[in-house]
Chain A
């Protein structure tokens, strides 16, 4: 067929492999942080403050990406920061996805009072500006990793709920749903074995997007010092510190930003790549 599927597949291949490679590095760095880090993430040494990256004049061996204003190794702190980012992406992403998608499927398929209640709650939720909402929640829940994750789930489940509900509604109008009834399927079986496979590509795309968003939200909260205690290294915290010394030591700001940027981008691209690779309708 002359429909460019070959082209899509080749692009999808590159997309999937490049983003997958970065995410694999990210996960490995987080899991193996104590083994692969060149330095101790918290070791301060005023003799070593603001060392430039290894390829610049005045660098010290072993400090590949330089040090910050307290003499802590930037590469090591980025690697440890990946732990927090990974935990947030996985736990907050999956929990948000499960809760939002389940409610969206129920609302879109069963309609009636369940839909009215769920849609009303979503409407109310959407009226809050998300960043303010997050800061408010942290104020109530207290700082710390689990509060950050909880706040993300509480705020962002509506993103899944809205999209999944709309898609479920669309799918429920298709004749294959009537056909399932003629085949004698129960409503629940129709939802799980007929409709869910058709909504799943949307859910996966949203999930990978959400994982990136969760990392950004954590970084923003770290940036305004509402996330995790300051001795734990987080990308957002590093960016906040780096901002103050941008003229003396740009590398403290730039390298965590690059790590954040590529990780968030890779999550989104990975989701898109998975869809193009594994969705039978696009393949």
Chain B
């Protein structure tokens, strides 16, 4: 299928479980992803939800190959990247970007915003693409000279977005990118993301445990529970006709913003 950007089949990730390692011999394997399969259509926004520890972050980081799969297949744009070496992966890096949950830790504290955005482009901090990216995320160009600690949380997260889009990627992974922000900056960052997806024709995977955010942003949702997909449906279907008991549990946990409205 030409308009499928990611094809994931039977993807597994396991790590040695050091807590149960015997005195001699190898530690037993701890399965974090137990064989997940799904496709991501180009130009869509896919949501991944699930409780804490369900494997959302691991799944996302496997897509961008920060985590090496232990089994299964991962195709990006038709190319098998399951076990691609770091060196070969580097050629694809500009097309596969990521926005991190904690912008304080994901922005280098001792580099200016300008250098942080410019370095992956192989450019200097004065490059016009830096200014353009800052403007696209609604920050003044003068912010290029600031350090991350001189920004607010929301502004920092915008810099994270600017760094990702400056590369002109096809795909962006956003892992809980608003969970550290207050409600009003959350809304602003989400609005910005919505707008950029349309403007730049991005494919986005949006990881969140907040279903109301997912509902607003995503066209399709995958529900993950202890490393397995329990439901994979169009957003409207999922919210109106949840098939799985676990999904209903998650839906019931959404706080109702207005007490007079009932789900």
Question: Chain A residues in contact with chain B, CB under 8 A?
Answer: 174-176, 178-179, 181-187, 193-194, 197-198, 200, 279-281
Residues of A within 8 A of B110 (CB): 197-198, 200, 279-281
Given A178-B100, A182-B64, verify A281-B109 contact (CB < 8 Å): yes
Bound Cα distance from A159 to B86, whole angstroms = 33
A-B contact pairs, 13 of them (CB 8 A): A175-B100, A175-B106, A176-B105, A176-B107, A176-B109, A178-B98, A179-B107, A179-B163, A183-B120, A183-B163, A185-B120, A193-B119, A281-B109
B212 proximal to A (CB < 8 A): no
B105 touches A184 (CB 8 A): no
B66 touches A178 (CB 8 A): yes
B198 proximal to A (CB < 8 A): no
B66 touches A198 (CB 8 A): no
Residues of A within 8 A of B98 (CB): 178-179, 182
Bound Cα distance from A182 to B116, whole angstroms = 13
Bound Cα distance from A183 to B94, whole angstroms = 6
User: From A281, which residue of chain B is reached at the shortest CB distance?
Assistant: B109
A174 touches B97 (CB 8 A): no
User: From B169, which residue of chain A is reached at the shortest CB distance?
Assistant: A182
Contact indicator per residue, chain B 53-91, by CB within 8 Å of chain A (1) or not (0): 000000000001010000000000000000000100010
Bound Cα distance from A185 to B96, whole angstroms = 13
Residues of A within 8 A of B111 (CB): 194, 197
Please pick, from B93, B102, B105, B108, the residue contacting A182 in the complex, using a CB distance under 8 A: B93
B147 proximal to A (CB < 8 A): yes
Residues of A within 8 A of B66 (CB): 178, 181-182
Please pick, from A174, A184, A279, the residue contacting B93 in the complex, using a CB distance under 8 A: A184
B149 proximal to A (CB < 8 A): yes
A184 touches B102 (CB 8 A): no
Residues of B within 8 A of A200 (CB): 110
Bound Cα distance from A198 to B149, whole angstroms = 14
Bound Cα distance from A18 to B203, whole angstroms = 58
A182 touches B96 (CB 8 A): yes
Bound Cα distance from A236 to B90, whole angstroms = 57
A281 touches B105 (CB 8 A): no
Residues of B within 8 A of A193 (CB): 119
Q: A-B pairs with the 8 shortest C-beta distances?
A: A184-B93, A183-B120, A175-B106, A175-B105, A197-B110, A176-B108, A184-B90, A280-B147
User: From B107, which residue of chain A is reached at the shortest CB distance?
Assistant: A176
Residues of A within 8 A of B149 (CB): 280-281
A176 touches B106 (CB 8 A): yes
B106 touches A179 (CB 8 A): yes
Bound Cα distance from A181 to B100, whole angstroms = 13
